[in-house]
């Protein structure tokens, strides 16, 4: 049985089920079910596949934050998700830019959205807990 079919459109070129409902501040698809807020991708994985173990997260293999197609979503550890994001999205130039923008007052949430990474990763960068001082 399909759910929330009125909240996404299928992209014929990519196969993504692109969420047209609410988005969180980070740009990820969001929904409410029984009074609880969910990341829509997490909800779809649990609905169509299996419950997500504690400490695991959902990785968008298609790199589309709005995609809720369970076939495009993989359950991975947070560490693995961070490794994948860092490798594909950031480099030393971007890390230096993130630190400069943060120093000049841009919020971590805005930086996360701008650079398409999680706020937790931005926090580690600006607090020198991730990425050695960029060369």
The rounded distance, in Å, linking the Cα atoms of 59 and 125 is: 20
Q: What are phi and psi of 98, to 5 degrees?
A: -60, -45
Those residues whose C-beta lies under 8 Å from the C-beta of residue 80, and which sit 6 or more positions away, are: 59
Residues 58 and 104 in one domain: no
Residues 22 and 77 in one domain: yes
SS3 category, 78: helix
What is the structure's pLDDT at 113? 85
Q: What does the block give as tokens for 104?
A: 């000049």
Residues 103 and 75 in one domain: no
Nearest Cα to Cα of residue 91 among 134, 38, 41: 134
What is the structure's pLDDT at 1? 58
Place 83 in a pLDDT band, splitting at 50, 70 and 90: confident
Residues 102 and 58 in one domain: no
């Amino acid at each position: 049985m399909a759910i929330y079919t009125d909240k996404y459109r299928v992209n014929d070129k990519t196969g993504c089920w692109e969420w047209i409902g609410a988005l969180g501040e980070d740009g990820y698809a969001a929904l409410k079910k029984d009074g609880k807020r969910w990341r829509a991708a997490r909800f779809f994985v649990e609905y169509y596949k299996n419950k997500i173990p504690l400490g695991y997260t959902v990785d968008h293999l298609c790199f589309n934050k709005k995609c809720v197609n369970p076939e495009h979503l993989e359950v991975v550890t947070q560490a693995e998700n961070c490794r994948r994001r860092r490798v594909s999205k950031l480099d030393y130039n971007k890390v230096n830019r993130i630190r400069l923008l943060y120093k000049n007052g841009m919020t971590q949430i805005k930086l996360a959205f701008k650079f398409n990474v999680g706020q937790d990763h931005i926090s580690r960068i600006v607090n020198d807990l991730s990425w050695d001082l960029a060369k």
